[in-house]
Each structure stands twice: as structure tokens, then as C-alpha cells.
């Protein structure tokens, strides 16, 4: 089977699965799953750039996705002027002293000779700087969080359209990736994994605890939407006409009263599907743009260089390629793509909840997508994103159903059965791990393995 | 005289809120980091499943503990979980051997790069996590019984006449005691026995060890047995001391990695040292020193704020920052380990 056939077959299978979900559950559910499939695919593409092209093991995907989500809040929410007025002066001073501390520490690190003096100088700078920063930051935070703590208690955002945050999310994630990469990329691959694991936990800890920034665990809800609201659609004339036209064949045989009721039902269903379709359009265009760029990049001399570095760093270095620089570059680009996906996800949810960022869901599941789909192959990552997300979502009802089937000989009220059924949803973790291990063992290239073109 | 009581009060304060908790948390981390470092030394990969191995062993121990409690069997002042621990260890070792035979052995025999083994360990992590959540659920479980304190604050105050009390929980005492005993046993094993020497030789230079007739399968088997034992004990002690929740154990992975790397990965003494370094800095950096200074400084100089460097929520950040610092300054760790 040629590679192209394989790709078509695999995506055909995904389409078929969606159709099955659409017919057996509902089209709204199918579209909802498909939207998250698209976001997952973008995220998987970002990770594939790092792992598939360059062999960098990033286990901090969760953190970069959360940064994207934070950007969505900071861009789209209206600024809280009262909070700004209450805290701007102290906050500004805190920022100035923080930057000064960092700058001084870096200056000391660069200019002083290594030894005990330098260590002492740097640590005193950092400790004193931290105390001064805290001296200004604490009252600033207190005054900001005192402004209507039940409703706001944070600085708010910039009040710009939320679509803009997709770009900002990418930029923020890229900035943090630059910092992490500067520190971690000089060392070996295993270390990058542990370092990124750490940085993602820290990002989540900051987002959970800095209430003045994104309200912490109090969550930010009601983010503005880039697409119309269902309620607006249901009361607009053009949408009613569209629904009437779409369902004209089934409406034609009904009496007037039935027609009214049916039309109302169709409008409610239709509005939900229409909103989801709008999201699908937005997400799909982002995915297609990133996918096209990735394919182009991977097939360009740059992509060949990346793979050369991945396959043999020493040889590539000997050919004059700056390995560390290229690694930093791809690490930043990949993280930015993950950040974009994170902003898209928060946009779709309409809310930002730091506690929902869990490593199993946001880091390791994406890894399963990349490995199962086919690392190094862009289409493979997209496929992995689609397939694994669907399995992840559908494994829950299927798992519960299987457990109920398996325990049908037990009495409905038996503790064992109640326990097993209520915990059945967790079996999808087991299932995901098994899929990852099976693919890794028996088909290490994934479903769509990397295509290597050789010129004769 | 008052001056001396003030100093004594300050010392007891530090002992009570910093040293004792840090010692017990450090022992738990050290036992976990020992497992990670052994696996890294012998099998040469960073095992992401270690946190969940701990959760699995603890879960079995909890289930057996509940069963024992329902039968009315207890250890008097000691927690019943100690009685259940051997069974937890046996099950965990079984799990280790099964995963090695089904997953890791293939890659080892095919000389796969360590990154592949690391990704495989993520798969194992997922599966173990799924099993644990399926059997015991994702929620908090408590299984502590027996005497709660070795020294109570009230008794301590009455005995010494100081304002500050010193509390030592039974679990803290047990943790420190068991950790010391285990570490001594482990080092005796590694230094004195034939298998232990074979393990060190294998870790140091695989080819040379194989040439000298070291049986690699045996070395790997013993490594998994040790790692499983250490993980179960560390997990149970942590669960007794705080509480058991599968997600917390996944999060312990980062401080344990940090401990292993900071001490020098592949080096058992380093892992223990790293465990205490991480635990002490986490506790010391996030403590509010206000009361401490109130005791020591004259009234005029008493601090207004909490005198806290970082809020307690940033524990992870502390272990991570130490990790980064050590890697920048001395990539082999405090005691010489391998360069990751």
C-alpha cells in the first residue's frame, strides 16, 4: 500500500467514525468532538515539530497550552479600570525591581569570575531583590484583588477581539519557550524532558495562585465569542429562513401548529450546530494554514537540515550546522503552535480554568497522538490528533458499557458493580497507555510513518 | 534569662515547623529518588512511571490495610499499614517484573535509544494510573490508624516550660526510622553482596561487566525488585503522613526527578542527599519567618510582613529552580553522577 493510499484510508476511517457518532448520537455531539479534534491536531503538529523533526522531547505541553489560554483571557476581557487605578503604581515598581534584580544577577553572572564571590553576590542580589519586589507587589496584589473580589478581583484584559489572542497566545508561548530553551537545550534530551515537565507545573502553579492576573482558581468565565450566540441566531430572520429552507421537505406535510413547534425545535438544534460549524471553520483554517506551512518547511532544505540534526547531531555539527541554535528555533516554533492551540481551546470553552490543566490530558495524551499518528509525518500528527481524541472521548461511554455488560450477572445494587461502573471511565487511561505501547512496539513509525525521499 | 528562653523558643519553632517536616518529606523523596536513580543507573532511562508505581504499591497496601482493619487486626500504637506493606511490595514487584518482560525487555535487547524507553515508560505510566484509578478511584483515601503522636505539643510545653511546642507525629518518626534502616540495608547490599557488586559493575561499565560474566537479566531483575520495594515503602509512608490521592503521586514525580538529578543521577548516595536538599529548600523557602524574628529581634525591629520568601503554592518551583541551578553550575549533580 503506498503512503498516499494509507493516508486516504486512515482519514476515511476517521470520517466514518464521525459519521457513526453523528448518526448514532447526534450531529451536535459529532461536531463538538470534531472541533476538539481540530485543536488536538494543531497541538500535535506543534509537538511533532519538536519531536518528529528535531527529536526534542517536550513534556511540558500543558504549560504552553495554558499560556495560550491565559493570553485569551488577557486579550479579550475588558480592562478593570478600578483595579488598575488601585494597583498600577505598586505593580509598576514591583515589575521594575524584578527586572532590575534579574538584570543585575545576569550581569554578575557574566562579568564576575566564577567562584565563591560570584555565588554570594548573585544569591544576595536575588534574595534582596525578591524582598523588595515582594514589598511592592504584595500591596499591589492586595489592592487589585480587593476590587469586587466576587466578580473581578483581577486586572482584566485588553478588551480586544478574542481571535487576536490566538496570535498573542503563540507569541507568549514562544517567549517562555525561548527562556526554557536557553537554559535546557544545551543538555541532553532526557534532561529537556524533565525540565519541561517542571516548567509546565510552575506555569500552572502561577496561574492557579496569582489571582490578580487571571483570578486563579476562581476562574474567568464568559469570555467573548468570535462567533454569534445561539440566542441571537434564534431571533434573527435570516437564520429562521435558513432553517425553514433546510428543513422544507420535512415541514411541508405538517399542519400549521405542528409546523410552529417543529420549526422551533429545528431552530434550537440548528443554532447550536451553526455555532459549532462557525468554530469548525475557524479552527480548520488555522489547522490548514499551519499544516501547509509545516509541509512546506519539512520538505525545504531547512526541514532536511532539521532531520539531519535529529538523526546525527555530531555529523550535522561537523557539517557546520549550529545544532543548539536550530534546536532553540524549532523548540520556540513548536511551542508557539501549542500556544495557539491553547488559545483556541480556551476560546471554544469560553472560560479559563487553571485547575483543568492536568498533565495526563494535556501533555501525555498529545504525546500519544504524535506517536500513534506517526512522528515526523505532519499528516500523521493530524490523523493522530483526530483519532486519539475521538477514542479518548468515546472510550468513556464504551468503557462504561463494557463494564456494565461484563458485570450484568451481578445484582444492580451490589457494591462491587456500583464501584466498577462508577470507576469505568478511568479505564480509558489504561487503554491509551496500551495503544501507545502497542504502536511503539509493533509499528514504531506510527500509523503514517515518516516519508523519506531519496534521490538516486 | 528571658533572652535565652527566646532563643530556645525560636529553635523549637524552627525544629517543629521546618526541620521535622522536612526530614520526613526528605526521607520520602529520597526513597523515591533512589528507585529512579537505580533504574537510571542500570537500565539507563528516566522512568516516568515511577510516581504511579508508588501509587500502585500504596493502593495495594491500603486495600490490605482495610481488610486487616475489618478483621480487627492492628499493630497497637503503630499503623496497621506496616503489616500490609509486605503484600503491597510483593504485588508491586510482580507488576515491575510483568512490565519489564512485556515492555522494556524488548527495547533493551534491541539496544533502543534511551528516549524510546522513556516514551515506553509514559505508556506504562498511563496504564498503571488507569489501573489505580479504576480500582481505588481518583479521590483522597485515608488509612492511618494507631497512635498519632510520639511527642505532643502540650506535653512538650509542660515538660520544658517553653511557649513553643514540639510535635513529632508517629508517621514522621516512622518515616525517618524506616528510611535510615532501608538505606543502610541497601548500601550493605550494594557494597557487600555479590549481586550488589555485579549491579554496580553493570552500572559503571556495561560491556566490561558482561565480559566479567555478570548476568544482565539477573541484574535487571534485582533492580526492578529494589525499585518496586522502595517505591511501595516511599508511597505508603507518604500516604500515611499526608494522604493518598493518585494525582498527588503523579505530581511527586518532579521533586523526585529533581532529587535524583541534583544529587547526581545514577549515584545512590546522591539520591538521598538530593531528597533532603529538595525537601529542606522547599520547606525553608516557603516558610513565613515572622514568628521566628519576633522571638529573636527586639520589639522595635519586629517585622511587619510575614517574612516569607515564596508562597507555599510554589513548592514545585523551588525544586525546579534548584534543579536548573545545579545543572547550570554542576551538570553532574552535587555528588558526581552521570551527565544526563
Per residue in A416-425, pLDDT tens? 778 878 888 8
What counts of helices (H) and strands (E) characterise chain A? 20, 0
What does the DSSP assignment read for A32-51? HHHHHHHHHHHHHHHHHIII
Pairing of strands B149-151, B168-169: antiparallel
CA B176 to chain centre: 11
What pLDDT is stored for residue B150 in this prediction? 86
Higher-scoring residue by pLDDT: A134, A52: A52
B307, closest residue in chain A (CA to CA): A131
| Residue with cell string 528571658 | B2
Give me the sign of the Cα torsion angle A304, A308, A309, A311: positive
Q: B332: number of CA atoms within 13 Å, CB side?
A: 5
| Residue A86 reports pLDDT greater than 60 | yes
Tell me the C-alpha distance between A362 and A356, whole Å: 9
CA distance A230 to chain B (A): 36
User: B265 near B338, Cβ under 8 Å?
Assistant: yes
| Residue with cell string 521594575 | A96
What pLDDT is stored for residue B1 in this prediction? 67
Tell me the C-alpha distance between A323 and B209, whole Å: 34
Higher-scoring residue by pLDDT: A114, A449: A449
User: A294 near A378, Cβ under 8 Å?
Assistant: yes
**Is B323 within 8 Å of A190 when comparing Cβ atoms?**
no
| Residue with cell string 494507631 | B146
Q: What is the mean pLDDT of residues B288-292?
A: 80
Residues sharing a CB contact under 8 Å with residue A304, sequence separation 6 or more, in sequence order: none
Contacts of A419 in chain B (CB under 8 A): 137
Higher-scoring residue by pLDDT: B227, A197: B227
CA distance B155 to chain A (A): 37
B320 shares contact with chain A (CB less than 8 Å): yes
Residues sharing a CB contact under 8 Å with residue A344, sequence separation 6 or more, in sequence order: A39, A42, A68, A166, A282, A283, A286
Phi, psi of B310 (to 5 degrees): -140, 145
Tell me the C-alpha distance between A156 and A73, whole Å: 8
C-alpha grid cell for residue B127? 496504564
Tell me the C-alpha distance between A380 and A147, whole Å: 49
Tell me the C-alpha distance between B180 and B27, whole Å: 8
Q: In degrees to the nearest 10, what's the CA dihedral of A121, A125, A127, A129? A: 180
**Is A440 within 8 Å of B328 when comparing Cβ atoms?**
no
Tell me the C-alpha distance between A323 and A306, whole Å: 9
| pTM attached to this predicted model | 0.89
**Is A198 within 8 Å of B118 when comparing Cβ atoms?**
no
Give Dmax over CA atoms of chain A in angstroms: 91
How many other C-beta atoms are found inside a 10 Å radius of the C-beta of residue A45?
A: 30
User: B49 near B95, Cβ under 8 Å?
Assistant: no
Angle subtended by helix axes B20-43 and B50-70, to nearest 10: 120
Give me the sign of the Cα torsion angle B93, B95, B96, B100: positive
CA A246 to chain centre: 35
| Residue A79 reports pLDDT greater than 90 | no
| Residue B290 reports pLDDT greater than 90 | no
Residue among A386, A393, A385, A384 nearest A447 (CA): A384
* Cα R_g (chain A), whole angstroms: 26
Confidence of residue B59 (pLDDT cuts 50, 70, 90): very high
C-alpha grid cell for residue B183? 538505606
What pLDDT is stored for residue A87 in this prediction? 78
CA distance A234 to chain B (A): 41
Higher-scoring residue by pLDDT: A405, A166: A166
Q: What is the mean pLDDT of residues A84-105?
A: 86
C-alpha grid cell for residue A145? 484583588
| Residue B339 reports pLDDT greater than 60 | no
What pLDDT is stored for residue B340 in this prediction? 41
> Which B-chain residues 73-112 have CB contacts (< 8 A) with chain A?
103, 106
User: A60 near A342, Cβ under 8 Å?
Assistant: no
C-alpha grid cell for residue B39? 533504574
Nearest-CB residue to B123 (from A134, A190, A433): A433
| Residue with cell string 487605578 | A85
User: B260 near B37, Cβ under 8 Å?
Assistant: yes
pLDDT digit string (tens) for A295-312? 999 889 999 999 999 888
User: B263 near B281, Cβ under 8 Å?
Assistant: no
Higher-scoring residue by pLDDT: A292, A186: A292
Higher-scoring residue by pLDDT: B320, A391: A391
Most confident of the following: A179-183, A452-456, B72-76, B253-257: B253-257
C-alpha grid cell for residue B12? 523549637
Tell me the C-alpha distance between A206 and A198, whole Å: 12
Q: What is the mean pLDDT of residues A366-392?
A: 92
User: B89 near B232, Cβ under 8 Å?
Assistant: yes
Task: Please state, rounded to an integer, the average pLDDT across all residues of chain A.
Answer: 87
C-alpha grid cell for residue B121? 515508560
Residue among B190, B199, B238 nearest B31 (CA): B238
| Residue with cell string 514540639 | B166
**Is A432 within 8 Å of B138 when comparing Cβ atoms?**
no
Residues in chain A: 456
User: A31 near A278, Cβ under 8 Å?
Assistant: no
What pLDDT is stored for residue A1 in this prediction? 65
Tell me the C-alpha distance between B176 and B179, whole Å: 5
Tell me the C-alpha distance between B225 and B261, whole Å: 22
Confidence of residue B240 (pLDDT cuts 50, 70, 90): very high
Higher-scoring residue by pLDDT: B199, A156: B199
Contacts of B319 in chain A (CB under 8 A): 198
What pLDDT is stored for residue B292 in this prediction? 82
Phi, psi of A116 (to 5 degrees): -65, -40
Nearest-CB residue to A190 (from B46, B122, B331): B46
B340 shares contact with chain A (CB less than 8 Å): yes
pLDDT digit string (tens) for A327-362? 999 999 999 999 999 999 999 999 999 988 988 888
User: A345 near A338, Cβ under 8 Å?
Assistant: no
Phi, psi of B75 (to 5 degrees): -105, 25
Q: Which range (A165-169, B46-50, B139-143) has the least confidence?
A: B139-143
C-alpha grid cell for residue B236? 505508603
User: A68 near A214, Cβ under 8 Å?
Assistant: no
CA distance B213 to chain A (A): 30
Higher-scoring residue by pLDDT: A168, A87: A168
Burial class (CB in 10 A: 0-12, 13-18, 19+), B201: middle
Contacts of A187 in chain B (CB under 8 A): 327, 331, 339-340
Q: What is the mean pLDDT of residues B232-237?
A: 95
Residue among A329, A440, A327 nearest A375 (CA): A440
C-alpha grid cell for residue B226? 529494589
Q: H or E stretch including B168?
A: strand B168-169
Contacts of B137 in chain A (CB under 8 A): 419, 422-423, 426
Helix, strand, or coil here: A226? coil
C-alpha grid cell for residue B261? 538529578
Q: What is the mean pLDDT of residues B282-310?
A: 78
Tell me the C-alpha distance between B338 and A190, whole Å: 12
B238 shares contact with chain A (CB less than 8 Å): no
What pLDDT is stored for residue A43 in this prediction? 95
Percentage of the residues of chain A whose pLDDT score is greater than 90 = 34
pLDDT digit string (tens) for A184-217? 887 766 778 888 888 888 888 889 888 888 888 8
Amino acid at each position: 500500500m503506498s503512503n498516499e493510499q494509507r493516508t486516504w484510508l486512515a482519514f476515511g476511517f476517521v470520517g466514518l467514525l464521525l459519521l457513526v457518532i453523528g448518526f448514532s448520537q447526534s450531529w451536535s455531539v459529532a461536531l463538538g468532538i470534531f472541533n476538539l479534534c481540530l485543536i488536538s491536531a494543531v497541538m500535535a503538529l506543534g509537538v511533532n515539530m519538536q519531536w518528529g523533526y528535531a527529536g526534542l522531547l517536550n513534556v511540558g505541553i500543558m504549560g504552553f497550552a495554558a499560556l495560550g489560554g491565559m493570553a485569551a483571557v488577557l486579550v479579550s476581557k475588558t480592562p478593570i479600570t478600578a483595579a488598575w487605578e488601585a494597583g498600577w503604581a505598586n505593580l509598576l515598581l514591583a515589575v521594575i525591581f524584578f527586572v532590575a534584580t534579574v538584570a543585575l544577577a545576569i550581569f554578575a553572572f557574566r562579568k564576575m569570575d566564577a567562584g565563591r564571590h560570584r555565588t554570594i553576590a548573585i544569591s544576595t542580589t536575588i534574595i534582596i531583590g525578591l524582598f523588595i519586589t515582594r514589598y511592592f507587589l504584595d500591596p499591589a496584589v492586595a489592592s487589585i484583588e480587593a476590587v469586587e473580589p466576587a466578580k473581578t478581583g483581577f486586572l482584566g484584559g485588553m478588551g480586544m477581539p478574542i481571535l487576536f489572542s490566538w496570535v498573542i497566545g503563540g507569541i507568549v508561548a514562544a517567549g517562555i519557550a525561548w527562556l526554557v530553551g536557553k537554559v535546557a537545550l544545551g543538555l541532553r534530551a532526557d534532561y529537556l524532558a524533565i525540565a519541561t515537565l517542571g516548567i509546565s507545573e510552575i506555569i500552572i502553579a502561577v496561574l492557579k495562585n496569582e489571582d490578580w492576573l487571571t483570578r486563579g482558581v476562581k476562574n474567568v468565565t464568559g469570555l467573548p465569542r468570535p462567533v454569534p450566540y445561539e440566542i441571537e441566531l434564534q431571533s434573527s430572520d435570516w437564520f429562521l429562513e435558513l432553517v425553514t429552507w433546510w428543513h422544507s421537505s420535512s415541514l411541508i406535510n405538517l399542519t400549521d401548529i405542528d409546523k410552529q413547534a417543529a420549526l422551533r425545535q429545528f431552530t434550537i438544534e440548528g443554532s447550536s450546530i451553526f455555532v459549532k460549524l462557525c468554530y469548525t471553520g475557524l479552527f480548520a483554517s488555522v489547522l490548514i494554514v499551519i499544516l501547509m506551512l509545516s509541509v512546506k518547511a519539512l520538505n525545504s532544505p531547512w526541514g532536511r537540515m532539521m532531520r539531519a540534526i535529529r538523526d546525527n547531531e555530531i555529523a550535522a555539527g561537523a557539517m557546520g550546522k549550529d545544532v543548539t541554535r536550530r534546536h532553540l528555533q524549532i523548540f520556540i516554533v513548536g511551542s508557539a503552535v501549542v500556544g495557539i492551540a491553547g488559545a483556541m481551546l480556551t476560546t471554544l470553552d469560553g472560560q479559563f480554568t487553571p485547575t483543568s490543566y492536568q498533565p495526563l490530558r494535556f501533555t501525555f495524551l498529545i504525546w500519544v497522538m504524535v506517536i500513534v499518528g506517526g512522528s515526523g509525518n505532519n499528516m500523521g500528527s493530524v490523523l493522530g490528533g483526530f483519532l486519539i481524541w475521538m477514542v479518548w472521548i468515546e472510550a468513556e461511554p464504551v468503557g462504561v458499557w463494557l463494564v456494565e455488560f461484563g458485570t450484568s450477572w451481578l445484582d444492580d445494587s451490589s457494591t462491587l458493580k456500583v464501584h466498577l461502573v462508577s470507576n469505568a471511565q478511568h479505564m480509558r487511561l489504561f487503554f491509551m497507555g496500551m495503544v501507545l505501547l502497542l504502536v511503539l512496539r509493533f509499528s514504531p513509525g506510527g500509523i503514517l510513518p515518516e516519508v523519506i525521499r531519496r534521490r538516486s | 534569662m528571658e533572652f535565652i528562653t527566646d532563643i530556645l523558643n525560636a529553635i523549637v519553632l524552627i525544629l517543629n515547623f521546618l526541620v521535622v517536616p522536612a526530614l520526613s518529606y526528605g526521607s520520602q523523596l529520597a526513597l523515591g529518588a533512589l528507585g529512579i536513580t537505580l533504574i537510571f543507573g542500570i537500565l539507563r532511562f528516566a522512568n516516568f512511571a515511577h510516581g504511579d508505581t508508588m501509587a500502585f504499591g500504596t493502593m495495594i497496601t491500603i486495600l490490605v490495610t482495610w481488610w486487616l482493619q475489618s478483621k480487627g487486626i492492628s499493630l497497637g500504637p503503630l499503623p496497621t499499614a506496616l503489616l500490609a506493606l509486605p503484600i503491597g511490595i510483593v504485588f508491586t514487584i510482580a507488576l515491575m517484573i510483568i512490565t519489564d518482560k512485556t515492555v522494556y525487555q524488548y527495547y533493551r535487547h534491541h539496544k533502543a535509544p534511551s528516549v524510546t524507553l522513556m516514551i515506553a515508560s509514559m505508556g506504562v505510566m498511563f496504564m498503571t494510573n488507569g489501573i489505580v484509578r479504576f480500582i481505588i478511584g481518583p479521590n483522597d483515601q485515608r488509612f492511618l490508624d494507631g497512635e498519632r503522636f510520639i511527642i505532643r505539643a502540650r506535653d512538650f510545653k509542660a515538660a520544658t516550660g517553653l511557649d513553643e511546642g514540639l510535635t513529632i507525629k508517629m508517621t514522621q518518626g516512622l518515616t525517618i526510622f524506616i528510611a535510615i534502616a532501608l538505606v543502610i540495608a541497601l548500601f550493605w547490599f550494594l557494597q557487600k553482596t555479590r549481586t550488589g557488586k555485579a549491579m554496580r559493575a553493570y552500572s559503571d561499565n556495561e560491556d566490561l561487566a558482561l565480559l566479567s560474566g555478570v548476568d544482565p537479566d539477573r541484574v535487571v531483575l534485582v533492580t526492578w525488585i529494589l525499585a518496586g520495594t522502595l517505591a511501595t515503602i516511599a508511597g505508603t509512608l507518604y500516604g500515611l503522613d499526608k494522604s493518598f490521592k493518585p494525582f498527588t503521586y503523579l505530581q511527586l514525580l518532579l521533586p523526585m526527578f529533581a532529587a535524583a538529578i541534583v544529587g547526581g543521577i545514577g549515584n545512590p548516595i546522591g539520591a538521598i542527599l538530593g531528597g533532603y536538599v529538595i525537601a529542606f529548600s522547599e520547606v525553608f523557602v516557603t516558610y513565613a519567618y515572622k514568628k521566628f524574628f519576633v522571638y529573636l529581634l527586639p520589639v522595635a525591629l519586629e517585622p511587619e510582613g510575614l517574612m516569607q520568601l515564596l508562597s507555599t503554592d510554589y513548592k514545585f518551583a523551588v525544586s525546579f529552580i534548584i534543579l536548573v541551578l545545579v545543572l547550570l553550575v554542576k551538570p553532574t549533580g552535587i555528588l558526581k553522577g552521570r551527565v544526563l
